[in-house]
Structure 1
């Protein structure tokens, strides 16, 4: 397989050519062949078609890392469906919102999230016929029921796509939805191999991908499924553990992964004798993004794993930069140069003109001819664009060689352990507590997670700050917010700084807790 033309790509093509080739190793260590995975994806897709799902309809999946999660993705991929992989830390009402907003026609839930999934389905008014489970959940049919009577491939196949939920200006997440292409799902598009090429990952080539993060993350899902499409073996972890990852790297001769800096911190915290027990010489491209990585952490990982640590900056909406370990040592702190088919520009916040090298501004990008829209939010789609460029609100600068440096990853967004947390959503909950007159939520530095959530509260008139008040507010918040969104600390001020029009000067508050660089 020396030329691209001679390489057989794609789940179903590989399943036909090499049915016994191992596609993935599940968290229990069971090996799953390409034929087994393709058959499961066919069953699910045929079953969903039988329920009446048509091209462009939505499947919502709240499933832990398992074979069924991957099979559901490929079922949607070949049936022309959008698949929404839901963060299983969310609460019932938060999941119900996504079910309703996405207009989900089917919902797949792991039994370990039974209570949340059932509550969400009930609140969203999802019929019993649209509810499926991995394991047993009352009122849900087993996913094994899907297509059990017909193991053939579904008719009318066309390529589906992930639909990822990202922040809305009100704190409600918005679905990022790209037009479906109508393409043949058996044909792996050139941009797929080109994307992996950014990280020096070719088809086959004895590549083994380890997935230790939840598959509801955009990049994690992409890396896992593209690996299978390109003939790489996928090693799936259910829950990430630092030493277990090293053990699996050693056992399966892992070559690549997608990681976040929090995982680097945990790996570096292992005793030297534990780290030395495992052979990591097979590693070729350990990719990280999603959160800023402290320079000292990056240097230590490069010393340990060599120049295999590659960083990128990208958005769910598309476009991005990349920098390998060797380049980073020459340009420490940079997140790299634009992908060959992407454009990165830094524009003035005041007038939208391009700023000179070294001067900070809003980071805009473009991804070739790709387009997207925020589902049910045309205004947000238009507000993010200048011509054919778009921004997610990050501040940064380009140097003379075109390397991007980020200053502030969105003014308010909190990135904790690689997870996006949106302050407005938390503020909208806390402000409804009767003893809260005003509230501001923002991120403060955390040595392990990168950032943690802090709330500053202006108590209602006649209410005195106290530990009991903090306990009461947090207990109230816990009924409506996922655990990872919960403030880790609450401070009090007699009045929050706002201008005459009511705009909150959040930066003034943040500056009290975040040292100026």
Structure 2
């Protein structure tokens, strides 16, 4: 494993991990304590994860970009007993500690020995490693003990904490290693997805479980990715759709040899068909897409040979997942019918930390309710059509945003699109499309609406189109739909017809027939 700063063999990894685990115990941490981890893509991040696993401590990975207010809320809610962080996070942690009472150890991985001044128990990471206590920790850790509390992205209120047991995480990592064509000790992964998120973390640990090599990168740079693939003969990489598009838009994509890649996996949202075509033409035909979430774990996998034949699908169920489509009454729906995707199996989270309401509403008769809508075709392939909460109720009909997004995304002038429902006095909700155009392109609102009307029933066409230079994204590379919905929720606040404007209302109804 290497990150550009340090290279580590498996023997070194084990010895350093043991030293760290034993040193954490000497600091007074005990089995079951929650340890906040605020680290980027660096070898110490992986060392910390293994040390926590060996010592029976529970990790709480936190995005190092979080600010003091967010960190203080996490420390308080998740009962954090210790913090391990890098120097870039120190100003935010200092702000957090001014907001919450905290007396646990603080370990800094790079430079110094922690916070200066104040009543803090601060330690330097390498000082703990240098105690050289490489014996295996004498802590009994069970398969049902909680290994990680994984913070969901959260769209409203404070994010939830998914409980991942040791059994679940081992199986999750093995699933990454075994998925598709399988992994071996000859595999080399280039990890550009953040280790603080589950997709990057389980991918990296999965390759280490199998004896492979992991190259860590702090951020995505198209040219660096291409150079690294060619130089190190990288065999595996996972890319968010926005990263894949940046790779394809880089002029250098045609200049590098990427033939070593035998596994290019999507991270986050599905690839658009146009992206799949570009990756096949210029990068590799060995593309894998899946349906997965922090809460549900991996559910399905779409193999390279199905990327064209089953376009839009998330693939067939993996070996560790059961799934079906359920209606609101909890009854299974037949093939081809759209309903909520529910799943069960060892990869599903064990529940939510200090959140009995979420534990009650997220499970029904042993099935986890994903909140996603989808269907299975006659061949057993899963198709996801959108989020249950994102369905737009316009008049008396339900409109799926993903259907409209697919139509607009296929338009040559469009780079990215998000479709949301916003309040409308007459219709309850109305469809708004928010679009970023491809470089050098121009388009009008009416042009986009007419394109949708040519492909969809008139009532599905957007009532308004707004243009942004770039759409906002989450840290996982997904379009930040909630942020967009909030920004444009007042689109029809003044213009929509009220009860006094019957003629305008009648014209609107006639247009949408």
TM-score range, shorter chain: 0.7 to 0.9
Instruction: Name the counterpart of 2:359.
Output: 381
Q: Give distance in 2, aligned partners of 1:62 and 1:344.
A: 34
Instruction: Name the counterpart of 1:36.
Output: 12
Shift of 1:56: 1.7
Structure 2 length as normaliser, TM-score?
0.72
Whether 1:165 aligns to 2:148 is no
Instruction: Name the counterpart of 1:75.
Output: 51
Shift of 1:171: 2.0
Gaps of 5+ in 1: 1-23, 416-422, 424-439, 449-483, 498-515
Cα distance 1:300–1:410, how it changes in 2: closer, same or farther (>3 A)?
A: farther
Instruction: Name the counterpart of 1:89.
Output: 65
Q: How does 1:359-370 map to 2 (within 5 A)?
A: 359-368=337-346
8 Å CA contact retained: 1:335, 1:403: yes
Whether 1:214 aligns to 2:194 is yes
Instruction: Name the counterpart of 1:48.
Output: 24
Instruction: Name the counterpart of 2:260.
Output: 282
Q: Give distance in 2, aligned partners of 1:292 and 1:141.
A: 42
8 Å CA contact retained: 2:173, 2:205: no
Shift of 1:447: 6.5
Structure of greater relative contact order (alpha carbons < 8 Å, 6+ residues apart):
1
8 Å CA contact retained: 2:258, 2:284: no
Shift of 1:167: 5.3
Instruction: Name the counterpart of 1:114.
Output: 90
2:2 to 14, 25, 29: 25
Structure 1 length as normaliser, TM-score?
0.72
Instruction: Name the counterpart of 1:177.
Output: 163
Shift of 1:151: 2.3
Shift of 1:316: 1.2
Instruction: Name the counterpart of 1:242.
Output: 222
1:341 to 303, 320, 324: 320
Q: Give distance in 2, aligned partners of 1:162 and 1:292.
A: 26
Deviates more, 1:301-310 or 1:70-79: 301-310
Say which SS state the counterpart of residue 83 (structure 1) adopts. strand
Shift of 1:168: 5.7
Q: Give distance in 1, aligned partners of 2:323 and 2:437.
A: 30
Instruction: Name the counterpart of 2:127.
Output: 145
Shift of 1:180: 4.9
Instruction: Name the counterpart of 2:475.
Output: none
Q: How does 1:466-485 map to 2 (within 5 A)?
A: none
Cα distance 1:446–1:358, how it changes in 2: closer, same or farther (>3 A)?
A: farther
Instruction: Name the counterpart of 1:18.
Output: none
Cα distance 1:327–1:42, how it changes in 2: closer, same or farther (>3 A)?
A: same
Instruction: Name the counterpart of 2:287.
Output: 309
Q: How does 1:359-508 map to 2 (within 5 A)?
A: 359-368=337-346, 372-412=350-390, 444=434, 446=436, 487=483, 490-491=487-488, 492=490, 495=493
8 Å CA contact retained: 1:199, 1:287: no
Cα distance 1:445–1:391, how it changes in 2: closer, same or farther (>3 A)?
A: farther
Shift of 1:125: 1.8
Q: Give distance in 1, aligned partners of 2:268 and 2:125.
A: 32
Cα distance 1:129–1:340, how it changes in 2: closer, same or farther (>3 A)?
A: closer
Q: Give distance in 2, aligned partners of 1:444 and 1:110.
A: 37
Q: Give distance in 2, aligned partners of 1:123 and 1:229.
A: 40
8 Å CA contact retained: 1:362, 1:391: yes
Q: Give distance in 1, aligned partners of 2:44 and 2:346.
A: 33
Larger Rg: 2
Say which SS state the counterpart of residue 362 (structure 1) adopts. strand
Gaps of 5+ in 2: 117-121, 392-400, 403-419, 421-429, 439-479, 496-511
Aligned-CA RMSD value: 3.3
8 Å CA contact retained: 1:346, 1:396: yes
8 Å CA contact retained: 2:253, 2:282: no
Cα distance 1:70–1:496, how it changes in 2: closer, same or farther (>3 A)?
A: farther
Cα distance 1:251–1:363, how it changes in 2: closer, same or farther (>3 A)?
A: same
Shift of 1:216: 0.9
Shift of 1:270: 0.9
Q: Give distance in 2, aligned partners of 1:194 and 1:487.
A: 33
8 Å CA contact retained: 1:210, 1:257: yes
Say which SS state the counterpart of residue 221 (structure 1) adopts. helix
Instruction: Name the counterpart of 2:183.
Output: 202
